[in-house]
Amino acid sequence: MIALTNVVMLLLARNATRQREFSMKLALGAGRRDLLRQLLTESLLLVLAGGLAAWFFAVFATRALAAWAQIESSLAPDATVLWLSLGILAVALLLFGLAPLRIALAAAPSPALKTSSAASGVDSAKSRMGRTIVALQMTLCVVLLVTAGLLIRTLRNLENTPLGLKVDGLVVFGVNPAIKSLPQGIAFYQELIGKLRDLPGVESVTIMEERLGSWWSDTAI
């Protein structure tokens, strides 16, 4: 959303300088459909480029966060996030395409062609829109910074939370053997414990049904 507000501000400034271009095309016989097609094409390219960049950044950032916090669960954006992002991009596409068209059709071609300053066509309504977008951008930035700070603080607290057991040198992993009978399972785990205890540096080995920090799992520690 912060990136979208940045793009909106840039497009507003850019479209304010394109009033003469739009007026020239209208004077030469271009219709509203032609201008709409051009603006939607430009917006589509911008939105697609920004959406792809944001998606790849989200995937990379979530993987980096999971690796830094040593979280086994995947934090990568799923299908729900993808559809939500596509919906936001579709709204942005229409917004970026229709807003310039309204500006282009607001003024008659003749006065816009006579003036040499494109900035003179900016009225108070556009100024209010710009101030609203800037306020929205600042609000989103503050929310993002506060949320990021709370997230980092939470991860720090989790990292320093005592677990009630010694974790230095502790190795936890899960196994899922193809066991068909109870005697076969007992023999498998007895053999596994014996092999793990014979490894250099191993002090003790135990087995538990629910692995520490995860859900149901047949696990050797």
Q: What is the Cα–Cα distance from 62 to 73, expressed in whole angstroms?
A: 11
| pLDDT at res. 120 | 46
Q: What is the mean pLDDT of each run of 10 residues along the chain (221 residues)?
A: 67 67 74 76 79 84 80 77 82 71 59 49 58 77 89 84 77 82 88 91 85 55 44
The neighbouring-strand residues paired with 220 are 173, 207
Q: Residue 23 to residues 26, 35, 58, 108, 175: CA-CA distances in angstroms? A: 5, 11, 41, 7, 71
| pTM (global) more than 0.75 | no
